Amino acid sequence: MDFLIDFFNLNDVQWVPQIVNIIWNGSLYSLFALGYALIFSVLGVLNLAHSAIFMWGAYVGLWAVCGNTVFDGQCPAVDVPVWWAIPAAMIGGGIIAILVDRIAFYPLRQRNAPRLSQLISSIGIAIMMVAIAELVFGKERLSMPLDAIPRRNFDIPDGLSIENPLDIGRIGLGMYVAEFNILLTPVRLQIIVVSLILMIFLGFIVTQTRLGQGMRTVAFSERVSSLLGVHVDNIYMIAFFISGALAGAAGMLYTLNSNVFLPSTGSELTLKGLTVIVLGGLGSIRGAVLGGYLVAAIEVYMVAATDYGGLADAVVFFLFFLVLMFRPQGILGQPLPDRA
Amino acid sequence: MALLSVTDLEVRYGMILALRGISFKVENGQVVCLIGANGAGKSTTLNTISGLLKPYAGKIEFDGRDITKWRPDRICKAGLVQVPEGRQVIATMSVQENLEMGAYARSGGWLGPYLHPQKARKLSEEQRYDIEMVFKRFPRLQERRYQKAGSLSGGEQQMLAVGRALLARPKLMMLDEPSMGLAPVLVNEVFSIIKDLKAEGKTILLVEQNARKALEVADYAYVLERGQIIKSGPAETLRNDEQVIAAYLG
Amino acid sequence: MKQRFKIVVCLLLIATLVLPLSAMAQDGGDEEETPRMGFWEECADPANLSGEIPIGVVFGLTGSIAQYGEPQANGVRLAEQEINESGYLGEEATVTFVYEDGGSDRETSIAAFEKLINEGVVAIIGPTLSSQAFGADPLAADAGIPVMGVSNTAAGITTMTGDPELDQFIFRDSLPESGVIPGTVATAVEILGIEDVAILYGNDDDFTASGYEVFVDALEEAGVEILLEETFSRGDVDFSVQLTKIIEQDPDALVVSALIAEAVQIVTQARQAGYDGPIIGGNGFNSPALFTDAGEDANGVIVGAAWNVGNPNELSEAFVEKYTEAYGNPPDQFATQSYVGAWLMATAVRCADSADPADIRDALASIQDFPSPLGLFSFDEDRNPVHDPVVQIVDDGAFAVFDESYANYFD
Ligand SMILES: Nc1ncnc2c1ncn2[C@@H]1O[C@H](COP(=O)(O)OP(=O)(O)O)[C@@H](O)[C@H]1O
Ligand SMILES: [Mg+2]
């Protein structure tokens, strides 16, 4: 044990705050990867436009709370509770994802086009979506007003009292955050909570509902599902909606944390998301979640415990490579049927 | 009015003419069989009826409605259910879930089963009862209820495929070579299942290469050769037809 | 409006011909006179120049880098207008600045340089980033065309090829980190009594990495202990892992070498995390985006600069006024340096009295004590700029000159 701690240079790591960093970063990665994995498992195709949907979701959320000024590249004021951006981003992301399916995948699917052309088609639409975002919102960084987002670390606000049972949780949180030097802001707490809810919700849908059964049947075989009375196109539509809503939620939470809205937002996540779902197991919901936290843990570890923070991506991709070599089905995946 | 009537059906794969204008009927309560050699066009016929293939010409009527242009899921929901060639059980799901998927067609409109809070999750009383009936019919499936369907033997998979189709409460069940690839003992078992179904009054369109067995259970039969129906008649008659004996029963 | 402007310019032109500039710089000149650039008495009016003299300008005009590139282009445009309207290059000649987008990567700038060199420009101003300069400047040097960086502050820019024959064509008017940071660190340490610091820097960018090295030297010089050094990559938007480590160490000051996009994130996130001590930044912090995007979180950021909008220098005040009138917002350091750069190039052409790149180079190299918004400007023997820097602190949403009055600011 001591040997391992020395070997991984964990002596100086501040456990509690860094684990909190892993949790909220990992939640974001998982949330992003879930939608990616969902489409892959249902369609058998990687939707490389997923990160563009992520970016668009964030802009839709921004538009919802900021109003039409975003089209002039500005967000001077947020008059509604900023959290409304999240459901707005989810609905927006869902609808945009359906459009992506209709434009990039559906016509090819109708013609039984090979999976590779569907993959390339999704790259094409991703590039278009970024270009359109640049036209609509401008290439410049957009931000909400600084005071619109509660991005301060939790502390113990004045006027709370231990006498009041309602305040105790808030005081406890503030004390805990201060005691362990945790960097926990309301946005990051929101990231953790929303991701958790959405993950559980998705897990419930996929494993516990008729819809989820339908999706898994379509994932197994389109032909068999239609013989069983499954309206395959509707399943695709719903799957894209859910996937887009998850991407939108992830995009909104991501940008709420950074307050940087750029058309290039999320482009770095295309590959990272792919790594996440491959590590966890392609098309596996639990795998996507596991992969998300794993990648976050590696990134945080590299910065927190070594002097090679810049190599975090390299380590992640090395692991990706190892998994592809020795366990192509991923850590939690079952051996795959033939899919591209 | 026949339950199913196929008129001048012509199907092409690109330039290849797979069905050259066939016509046949299935009456309510009948077991009709379609026999023919490998590549005669039997699966093509069933898949076209099921809506998986679009005919080049011809007409398919079921239960008094023209279903020629319907989507497969709609045809299934209308009560015309196919047990596809090679079983096609959902290998990644348990036996129980495969059966639940069989009842999928009964669970409502296009968003019905998804948005209804109870239907979204639960099977109806009726569906649950039907699943229990399938287990009663095939006790071996009950033993493997929570096993993945992919781990079942060929015979068990065929039982599951039939059970799954029954859960849609079909008005007409189409079986595509149910005995294919099974050991002789199991072949007999499969045909006894079909006999049981017949005894219960189910309407069945059976596609088989095993003409001898098929003609034993069927009421009426059609012989398909290179995309054309070359002979038809009561099963009894065909069983004694010299040409049929020479080509299929010899 | 435009007509009146022209009249004013003509009047001013006459006035400056009458009043020597040096007199104005000393006593502030006539109350009604606005001090103006150029007409440097060191060289005579040009006699041999004619036609449009093309000078290339390569700035990053698209993407996130545009927040530097746009003000830079604005500075050159303003200078171009003044130079030509004042007849600085004589009756017959005008200067034409040819603008090319240098993007935010090396390749785009290299392509822009190639295009301009083929088009026959006599000199080039740019590119925006040091990392681009390392790729593109050798092209100009090879072609024998003088190139002047107006925002390249990485170490070794003007000696990048290692070959004196080529290096002699590479200039810059942007005070390198090594010219600004030591003074900044020394002043901050002296006034605030800083004993230990944490450093956070981008290690995948020439500019921020060389800034980091200068910081380390300056901190050692000042006897400050470096508790820990953390790195990040360009494009990062979250620094919570690094900040977790830094805050645990409780340093007296946080030293940051970053471009403005990351700088804004680091400043806001450090403040969110409850760190309210001084943040000493490199040249990348010198952008109005620091105030618009980080708001009051930017208070307490200490940055050395080649220039400050509040510079008590008459040419600077005049420039700020004209720039603000032209573009609706005050100039930043980048606009000022590019403005001065354009004037320096024009002065070199004027003093050389020739449109030959080699002559222009020689004239550029011999510029000494040129009055400008940056102060009296000279090139040293390595073609690096020499002028006095300013140490600034962000106070109440604006840069102020950092002096003893801020000794208790962080208490
Ligand atoms: N997907 C296909 N593409 C082209 N030809 C096909 C295809 N499927 C079947 N065929 C051809 O159509 C004919 C009928 O096939 P099929 O209906 O599968 O016969 P059966 O089920 O009677 O064995 C065969 O000649 C076969 O080669
Ligand atoms: Mg067949």
Is the Cβ atom of B146 under 6 angstroms away from ligand 1?
no
Q: What is the pLDDT of residue C293?
A: 86
Contact C241 A181 (CB under 8 A): no
Identify the residue among A202, A206, A208, A210 best suited for mutation to test binding to B, counting B beta carbons within 10 A and taking the highest: A210
Q: Using CB atoms, which residue from A153, A268, A304 is nearest to C235?
A: A268
Q: What is the pLDDT of residue C393?
A: 92
Segment A124-136 mean pLDDT = 95
Is the Cβ atom of B40 under 6 angstroms away from ligand 1?
yes
Contact C272 A303 (CB under 8 A): no
Residue with tokens 């610091």: C197
Q: How far does C258 lie from chain A, in Å, by closest CA?
A: 15
Report the separation in Å between the CA atom of B86 and the middle of ligand 2, taken as the mean of its atom positions: 9
Q: What is the pLDDT of residue A283?
A: 73
The domains of chain C, with CATH numbers, are 51-174+310-379 (3.40.50.2300), 178-305+392-406 (3.40.50.2300)
Residue with tokens 């011999």: C366
**Does A155 have pLDDT greater than 50?**
yes
Minimal CA–CA distance to C139: which of C205, C220, C58? C58
Those residues whose C-beta lies under 8 Å from the C-beta of residue C151, and which sit 6 or more positions away, are: C68, C72, C128, C129, C174, C334, C337, C338
Q: Maximum distance among all alpha carbons in chain A?
A: 68
Q: Which ligand 1 atom lies nearest to the CA of residue B224?
A: 22
Q: What is the pLDDT of residue C361?
A: 95
* CB-count burial class (<10 Å; 0-12, 13-18, 19+) for C398: middle
In chain B, what residues touch A213 (CB-CB under 8 Å)? 93, 97, 100-101, 104
Rounded mean pLDDT for each run of 10 residues along chain C, 411 residues in total: 50 42 39 55 82 95 88 96 90 93 93 95 95 95 96 89 94 86 90 94 88 93 93 89 91 94 93 92 85 89 87 87 94 93 94 93 93 91 88 88 87 81
**From atom 25 of ligand 1, which residue's Cα is the shortest distance away?**
B39
Q: How far does A140 lie from chain C, in Å, by closest CA?
A: 6
**Does B128 have pLDDT greater than 70?**
yes
Assign a CATH topology to domain B4-89+155-249. Answer: Rossmann fold (3.40.50)
CA distances from C332 to B171, C225, C233, C338, C373 (A): 80, 33, 25, 10, 12
Q: What is the pLDDT of residue C173?
A: 94
Q: Using CB atoms, which residue from A219, A221, A229 is nearest to B105?
A: A229
Contact B73 A220 (CB under 8 A): no
Q: What is the pLDDT of residue B108?
A: 63
Report the separation in Å between the CA atom of B234 and the middle of ligand 2, taken as the mean of its atom positions: 23
Classify the complex by whether its ipTM is higher than 0.90, answering yes or no.
Answer: yes
Query: What is the rounded CA–CA span in Å between residue B180 and residue C235?
Result: 60
In chain A, what residues touch B52 (CB-CB under 8 Å)? 223, 226-227
Contact A258 C238 (CB under 8 A): yes
Residue pLDDT, tens place only, A248-289:
999 999 999 988 999 998 888 888 888 888 888 877 888 899
Whether A231 contacts chain B with CB within 8 A: yes
Q: How far does A137 lie from chain C, in Å, by closest CA?
A: 12
Is the Cβ atom of B39 under 6 angstroms away from ligand 1?
yes
Segment A310-322 mean pLDDT = 85
Contacts 24+ apart (CB under 8 A), A321-324: A323/A278, A323/A279, A324/A278
N- to C-terminal Cα distance for chain A? 42
Q: Is C155 helix (H, G, I), strand (E, B) or coil?
A: coil
Q: What is the pLDDT of residue B118?
A: 54
pLDDT mean across residues, chain A: 88
Segment A122-141 mean pLDDT = 93
Whether B170 contacts chain A with CB within 8 A: no
Query: What is the rounded CA–CA span in Å between residue A290 and residue A302?
Result: 18
In chain C, what residues touch A258 (CB-CB under 8 Å)? 237-238, 265
Q: Which chains share 3+ C-beta pairs under 8 angstroms with A?
A: B, C
Q: Using CB atoms, which residue from C66, C229, C230 is nearest to A140?
A: C66
Whether B100 contacts chain A with CB within 8 A: yes
**What is the interface size between A and C, counted as CB pairs within 8 Å?**
82
Q: How far does C107 lie from chain A, in Å, by closest CA?
A: 19
Whether B171 contacts chain A with CB within 8 A: no
In chain A, what residues touch B114 (CB-CB under 8 Å)? 209-211, 238
Segment A288-298 mean pLDDT = 92
Contact C243 A260 (CB under 8 A): no
For residue A118 the two structure tokens come to: 């569907």
* CB-count burial class (<10 Å; 0-12, 13-18, 19+) for C386: middle
In chain A, what residues touch C243 (CB-CB under 8 Å)? 183
Minimal CA–CA distance to A231: which of B240, B59, B101, B72? B72
Q: How far does A151 lie from chain C, in Å, by closest CA?
A: 6
Contact A220 B121 (CB under 8 A): no
- β-strand partners of B94: B148
Is the Cβ atom of B118 under 6 angstroms away from ligand 1?
no
Contact B90 A209 (CB under 8 A): no
Q: Which ligand 1 atom lies nearest to the CA of residue B177?
A: 21
Q: How far does B241 lie from chain A, in Å, by closest CA?
A: 35
CA trace torsion A88, A91, A97, A100 (10° rounding): -80
Residue pLDDT, tens place only, A181-237:
888 889 999 999 999 999 999 988 888 888 888 898 998 999 999 999 999 999 999
**From atom 3 of ligand 1, which residue's Cα is the shortest distance away?**
B13
**Does A10 have pLDDT greater than 80?**
no
Q: What is the pLDDT of residue A334?
A: 62
Report the separation in Å between the CA atom of B92 and the middle of ligand 2, taken as the mean of its atom positions: 24
Q: Is C201 helix (H, G, I), strand (E, B) or coil?
A: strand
In chain A, what residues touch B169 (CB-CB under 8 Å)? none
Is the Cβ atom of B41 under 6 angstroms away from ligand 1?
yes
In chain B, what residues touch A227 (CB-CB under 8 Å)? 50, 52, 72, 76, 81-82, 84, 88
Query: What is the rounded CA–CA span in Å between residue B181 and residue B155?
Result: 9
Query: What is the rounded CA–CA span in Å between residue A315 and residue A309?
Result: 10
Identify the residue among A179, A181, A188, A306 best suited for mutation to test binding to C, counting C beta carbons within 10 A and taking the highest: A181
Q: Best of B43, B48, B223, B228 to mutate for ligand 1, by most ligand atoms within 8 A of CB?
A: B43
Q: What is the pLDDT of residue A148?
A: 87
Residue pLDDT, tens place only, B63-85:
999 999 999 999 999 999 999 99
Residue pLDDT, tens place only, A19-29:
999 999 999 99
| C301-305 β-sheet, strand order | C225-232, C196-202, C253-257, C279-281, C301-305, C390-395, C398-401
**What is the interface size between A and B, counted as CB pairs within 8 Å?**
80
Query: What is the rounded CA–CA span in Å between residue A243 and residue B58?
Result: 41
Q: Using CB atoms, which residue from B51, B73, B164 is nearest to A230?
A: B73
Q: What is the pLDDT of residue C1?
A: 46
**From atom 18 of ligand 1, which residue's Cα is the shortest distance away?**
B43
Q: What is the pLDDT of residue B200?
A: 94
In chain A, what residues touch C274 (CB-CB under 8 Å)? 153, 155
Q: Tell me the whole-structure pTM to 2 decimals.
A: 0.79
